[in-house]
Amino acid sequence: MKRALCALLILAAGQLGAADFDYRLAPVELARDVYGFIGKTEDFTTSNGGNIVNTAFIVAPQGVIVIDSGPSLRYGQQMRRAIAGVSAKPVVLVINTHHHPDHFLGNQAYADVPIAALAETRNGIAADGNAFAENLYRMSGDWMKGTEVHVPNKLLTAGPLEVAGRRLRIVALDGHTGADLVLVDEASGVLFAGDLVFNGRAPTTPHADVAHWLAALDQLEALTRAPGFTALLPGHGAPSADAAPIRQTRAWLTWLNASLRDGAKAGLDMNDVLARPLPPEFANMPVAASEYRRSVGHLFPALELDALGARH
């Protein structure tokens, strides 16, 4: 009886956590005047409300710069309140690193300030944003209530950028998506890598070009060797003081690409490839099994076609 009662209380507590729709965002200091909100290393669920992403903000001399706005209107609103708890300065710019929904669906909470992105990211949000939002509604449920797509209204290009008295540098790469913005904060030495880098979580690949992604990781690792580098914030997973998350992401992609190519060349079908075990180094990584299955679906058909063409 006592066990049953305890189980019911635990279940009720979990349901309450989802029902109050509180992301419980707590800023983590990455460097002086630089903060991140660190998400869970999970898939989207109705319990976490899509809080699986890292977002961030920089307190500049004349205002606050936000990097990614999260997966929903609620997240963006709660993020903005959490920022106000750190600084009374106004938010002056939001930057979207790429067009995946957990990074831009909080834009609506910042509709009164400029929202910036690379041109291809802006176009991707405009074209696919509503479909992404609908998919997140299915996976995250009522956490998404009221969320609508808000397309960036300011375009960014590679190079130096001064915002509110803070010198930033935009690095335009691709590989995880067709346009992946990396931000370097010159004052603190913090590198915001977006979803080009995952730490302690298997990478997602729905729009990936693995060869381009691996090339982007080489450029990112070079940035961590530059004078003044202090910290790396990946798109998912814990921040790091070194390039270890870059190397982990590279190891996963290198193995994944080689395994799928070898399977295609050997004439395996998709079910055969799906049945392959994960290597020991990745077997216990969060969401590795599910992301492997997704990646087979995303990447294997094209590799199969390449292999068939090579045989004829």
Which residue bears the tokens 């381009």? 212
Per-residue pLDDT tens, the chain, 312 aa: give them.
444 434 433 334 444 445 589 999 999 999 999 999 999 999 999 999 999 999 999 999 999 999 999 999 999 999 999 999 999 999 999 999 999 999 999 999 999 999 999 999 999 999 999 999 999 999 999 999 999 999 999 999 999 999 999 999 999 999 999 999 999 999 999 999 999 999 999 999 999 999 999 999 999 999 999 999 999 999 999 999 999 999 999 999 999 999 999 999 999 999 999 999 999 999 999 999 999 999 999 999 999 988 876 665
**30 domain-assigned:** yes
What's the start-to-end Cα distance of the chain, in Å?
A: 68
Q: Token pair 């479909």 is at which residue?
A: 131
Task: Determine, yes or no, domain membership for 297.
Answer: no
In a domain, 261, yes or no: no
> How many structural domains comprise the chain?
1
> For the chain, how many helices (H) and strands (E)?
9, 12
Per DSSP bridges, beta strands 63-67 and 91-95 are parallel
For 115, the token pair is: 């929202």
Residue 277 forms part of a structural domain: no
Residue 9 lies in a domain: no
Residue 69 lies in a domain: yes
Question: Residue 302 class from Cβ within 10 Å (0-12 exposed, 13-18 middle, 19+ buried)?
Answer: exposed
- Domain with 62 in it: 17-243
Q: What is the pTM of this model?
A: 0.92
State the number of CA atoms in the 13 A half-sphere of 181 facing the CB.
29
300 found inside a domain: no
Domain at 71, CATH number = 3.60.15.10
- Please check whether residue 259 lies inside any domain of the structure: no
**Contact by Cβ (8 Å): 218, 238:** no
